[in-house]
Amino acid sequence: MTMVKRIVPLLKKIQHYITKKLLKFMRLKRRIVLESHPDLSGNTFEFYEFLLKNKVNLNYKIYWLVENPENYKKYAIKNIKFLALKPSNIIKELRKKIIIHSAKLIISENRMIHKTNPNTQSIHLHHGTVLKDVSGIYNFGKSYNYILCPSKELVELYKRLFKVNKEQIYICGYPRNDLLTKPNNALDRLGFINYKKVILWMPTFRQHKNKERTDTAKTLPLGIPVLRNEKELIRLNEYLIQLNILLVLKLHPSQDKSYINIDATSNIIILEDYQLQEKDVKLYDFVGQTDALITDYSSIYFDYLLLGKPIGLTIDDIDDYSLGFVYPNVDEYLVGDKINELRDMKSFIQNCVDGIDVNKNLREQVNTRVNIKTAESYSNELYKKVETILK
Sorting pLDDT into bands at 50, 70 and 90, what band is 212?
Answer: low
CB 33 within 8 A of CB 124: no
First to last CA, the chain: 54
List CB contacts of 304: < 8 A, sequence separation 6 or more.
Answer: 287, 293, 295, 311
Dist. CA 316–CA 71, nearest whole Å: 40
pLDDT at residue 15 above 70? no
| pLDDT (tens digit per residue) in 83-131 | 999 999 988 998 999 999 999 999 999 988 999 999 999 999 998 998 8
Q: pTM for the complete prediction?
A: 0.87
Q: What average pLDDT does this structure show over 235-249?
A: 95
- Over residues 254-266, the pLDDT tens digits come to 544 544 556 767 9
In this structure, the number of other CB atoms found within 10 A of the CB of residue 166 comes to 9
Give the lowest-confidence range in 7-11, 156-160, 162-166.
7-11
Least confident of 56-65, 84-93, 237-246: 84-93
Is residue 336 within 8 Å of 359, Cβ to Cβ? yes
Whether 218 shows a pLDDT value over 70: the answer reads: no
Q: Out of 4-13, 28-37, 143-152, 156-165, which region has the weakest mean confidence (pLDDT)? A: 4-13
pLDDT of residue 208: 45
